[in-house]
Amino acid sequence: MQTALDVETRALLAKLLRSERVGALGTLRDGAPLVSMVPFLAEEDFSAFWLHVSRLAWHTQDMLREPRVALSIAQTDDRRTDPYALARVAIRADAAQLPGDSEHAGRLKRAWLARFGQSHIHFELADFSFWRLAPRDARFVAGLGRIHNLSADAVRAAARGPERP
Amino acid sequence: MQTALDVETRALLAKLLRSERVGALGTLRDGAPLVSMVPFLAEEDFSAFWLHVSRLAWHTQDMLREPRVALSIAQTDDRRTDPYALARVAIRADAAQLPGDSEHAGRLKRAWLARFGQSHIHFELADFSFWRLAPRDARFVAGLGRIHNLSADAVRAAARGPERP
Chain B residues in contact with A115 by the CB 8 A cut-off are none
pLDDT band, residue B165 (cuts 50/70/90): very low
Chain B residues in contact with A85 by the CB 8 A cut-off are 118
CA distance B159 to chain A (A): 22
Chain A residues in contact with B87 by the CB 8 A cut-off are none
Residue A102: what pLDDT? Answer: 81
Please name which of B88, B79, B4 lies closest in space to residue A59, comparing C-alpha atoms: B88
Q: Which of B32, B77, B121 sits opposite A28 (nearest CB)?
A: B32
Asked if B69's CB is within 8 angstroms of A32's CB, the reply is yes
CA distance A163 to chain B (A): 31
What span, in angstroms and rounded, lies between the C-alpha atoms of A123 and A128?
7
Percent of chain A with pLDDT over 90: 71
Residue B94: what pLDDT? Answer: 98
**pLDDT exceeds 70 at position B128:** yes
Residue B118: what pLDDT? Answer: 66
Asked if A69's CB is within 8 angstroms of B33's CB, the reply is yes
Residue B21: what pLDDT? Answer: 95
- The residues pairing with A98 across neighbouring beta strands, listed in sequence order, are none
Q: Which residues contact B150 (CB under 8 A, 6 or more apart)?
A: B2, B3, B5, B137, B138, B139, B140
What span, in angstroms and rounded, lies between the C-alpha atoms of B109 and B138?
26
A127-149 tens-digit pLDDT = 889 999 999 999 999 987 789 99
Q: Which of B33, B83, B119 sits opposite A84 (nearest CB)?
A: B119
Residue A120: what pLDDT? Answer: 66
The 3-class secondary structure across chain B, one letter per residue, is CCCCCCHHHHHHHHHHHHHCCEEEEEEEECCEEEEEEEECEECCCCCCEEEEEECCCHHHHHHHHCCEEEEEEECCCCCCCCHHHCCEEEEEEEEEECCCCCHHHHHHHHHHHHHCHHHHHHHHCCCEEEEEEEEEEEEEECCCCCEEEEEHHHHHHHHCCCCCC
B88-120 tens-digit pLDDT = 999 999 999 998 778 888 899 999 988 887 666
Q: Which of A39, A70, A118 sits opposite B33 (nearest CB)?
A: A70
Cβ proximity of A12 and A142 under 8 Å: yes
Sign for the pseudo-dihedral over CA of A154, A158, A159, A160: positive
Q: Which residue is closest to A140 within chain B, CA to CA?
A: B36
Residue A130: what pLDDT? Answer: 94
Q: Which of A37, A119, A122 sits opposite B74 (nearest CB)?
A: A37
Q: What is the ipTM of this complex?
A: 0.93
Asked if B58's CB is within 8 angstroms of A33's CB, the reply is no
pLDDT band, residue A165 (cuts 50/70/90): very low
Cβ proximity of B90 and B49 under 8 Å: no
Q: What does pTM read for this prediction? A: 0.94
**pLDDT exceeds 80 at position A92:** yes
Residue B111: what pLDDT? Answer: 92
Q: Which of B30, B72, B92 to mutate to test the interface with A (most CBs of A within 10 A)?
A: B72
Mean pLDDT of B124-153: 92
Please name which of A132, A133, A130, A128 lies closest in space to residue A56, comparing C-alpha atoms: A128
Mean pLDDT of A48-60: 94
